[in-house]
Structure 1
Amino acid sequence: MEFILLWVVFAVAAGVLAKGKNRNVALWAILGLLIGPFAILAVGLIKPAPGADQGYQ
């Protein structure tokens, strides 16, 4: 049971990080479920996508 809960935590964490970087939250949450901490590491290392609040300089 704890193992399943841990993977759900990874999915939520990856989704939250993805939202903060203007990335696809659902995709990263699924990746968090599938590959766990590696998804968190990957989304943490990618650059933020340009969004409505980010302008080109």
Structure 2
Amino acid sequence: DYRAMEEQDQYESIGMDDSMEDERDLDQIMEDRRAAELELDVRDGRTANRKLPRLLHDQ
């Protein structure tokens, strides 16, 4: 539950790297994110239908 606090919701630009901007649209960002999450799931040996680690299922 977020409550806006104007005096605390200000960010300094010092130290921020503005040299690279993401020019993708939201659909492309979400597609890229899903692909990255799938790649991580495959790497970690996860499948979509399992909620517990493989070790617990195999015992």
Task: Tell me: higher relative CO, structure 1 or 2? Use CA pairs within 8 A at least 6 residues apart.
Answer: 1
Common topology (TM > 0.5): no
TM-score of the superposition, structure 2-length normalised?
Answer: 0.40
Structure with greater Cα Rg: 2
TM-score of the superposition, structure 1-length normalised?
Answer: 0.41
